[in-house]
Amino acid sequence: MIAELSATLSIAVVRYALVGMVVAGATFSLLGVVVVSLHLTAMRFMLMHMGLLGAAAGISLGFSPTGGALVLVLTGSLLMGPLGNRLSLSPASISGFFMTGSLAAAFLLLAATGARAMDVFGVFAGNILMLRQIDVIVVIVVGIVIVTVFVVAYREIQLVLMDRVRAEALGVPVEYITGVLYLLLGAGIAVALRLVGALLVEAGILLPGMAALRFARTLSGALLLSGLFGALACTLGFFAAVLLDLPIGASAAAASTLILAASLVLGRVCGVEG
């Protein structure tokens, strides 16, 4: 088994995949704590649907579907904060609006141009074994930016997640901070879609954050645990996929689900829920 693993890891693209997954799992998962705390689950779906529209536009109009998805995901995350503030709508309402609109526009576009809908969904499967060195660098850079934002603005993010109104009363630039968090979430989702498709978005971002919040007693504890669970899920998923010849994204998502399930059971049995 060790010889088999060594042989597999001697292939450059596999090493890139491992590094990409572990870094994404350890850093993108910090955003999971924000998603759960600010109730942004709907926003995550909205961004994925906007990605779908971008991919549909790419296929229909003859440019890169992946590029189209990335551009619309990032645009959606940028628009989210200002639109919500301008229209006095919650992230869930704005997400519902864009999610439905994107899906409708994608199908209308596909119908009008006669493109195959299944080609669009291929973008969401991702392919980590197609990773190039530059893709790994992008993952590392986005990961470093995420960690840096949490280190520099730790108290400010803590205030916003704790109580938005009180944060505003203290003079915290709440709109800017939520805008940056939305943008990071968009970048995380865009990169994760490119890597292993929609499945790693769950495995690497949301589920570790949910598991961490079961145990942590402080925000820093939740962030650390989330990073740890994310890295663990991606590592376990990667090795399970290599050894058992399974799809990597699905294996990582399964490992992440198991970690969340274990945290739910352990939290209940041991009474250590945060």
Partner 1 sequence: MDRKCPGSSSRAGSDSGSERGRSVAVESEDDRNVERQETVDRGIGRHYPGEPVVEFLDVRCGYAAREVISSVSFRIRAGELVTLLGPNGAGKSTILKTILGLLKPWGGTVRMFGRAIASTRDFAACRLHMAYLPQIQTPPAVPVTVFDAVLLGRWGKHFAWVRRPHRADRAQVYELLEMVGMADLAERDLRRLSGGQRQRAALAQALAREPSLLLLDEPTTYLDSEAKQDLLERITELHRAFGLTTVMVTHEQLPGRAFDRFLRVEAGQVHDLSHSGGTG
Q: What is the contact surface with partner 1 in residues (CB under 8 A)?
A: 33, 36-39, 88, 152-153, 155-156, 158-159, 161-163, 165-166, 168-172, 213, 216-219, 221-222, 274
Rank residues 101 and 221 by Cβ distance to partner 1 and give the closer one: 221
Rank residues 22 and 153 by Cβ distance to partner 1 and give the closer one: 153
In the bound complex, what is the minimum distance in angstroms from residue 105's beta carbon to partner 1?
29
CA dist list (Å): 114 to 62, 109, 117: 12, 8, 9
In single-letter form, the type of residue at position 77 comes to S
Q: What are phi and psi of 192, to 5 degrees?
A: -65, -35
In the bound complex, what is the minimum distance in angstroms from residue 220's beta carbon to partner 1?
9
Rank residues 82 and 274 by Cβ distance to partner 1 and give the closer one: 274
In the bound complex, what is the minimum distance in angstroms from residue 163's beta carbon to partner 1?
6
In the bound complex, what is the minimum distance in angstroms from residue 256's beta carbon to partner 1?
20
Q: How far apart are CA 251 and CA 69, in angstroms?
A: 24
The answer to whether the CB of 157 falls within 8 A of the CB of 150 is: yes
In the bound complex, what is the minimum distance in angstroms from residue 181's beta carbon to partner 1?
13
In the bound complex, what is the minimum distance in angstroms from residue 168's beta carbon to partner 1?
6
Rank residues 6 and 88 by Cβ distance to partner 1 and give the closer one: 88
Rank residues 65 and 227 by Cβ distance to partner 1 and give the closer one: 227
Rank residues 116 and 155 by Cβ distance to partner 1 and give the closer one: 155
Q: How far apart are CA 23 and CA 25, in angstroms?
A: 5
Q: How far apart are CA 201 and CA 221, in angstroms?
A: 22
Q: How far apart are CA 63 and CA 57, in angstroms?
A: 8
The answer to whether the CB of 231 falls within 8 A of the CB of 27 is: no
In the bound complex, what is the minimum distance in angstroms from residue 205's beta carbon to partner 1?
16
CA dihedral of residues 63, 64, 69, 72 (deg, nearest 10): -40
Rank residues 38 and 147 by Cβ distance to partner 1 and give the closer one: 38
Q: How far apart are CA 90 and CA 185, in angstroms?
A: 17
Q: How far apart are CA 273 and CA 252, in angstroms?
A: 24
Q: How far apart are CA 96 and CA 137, in angstroms?
A: 33
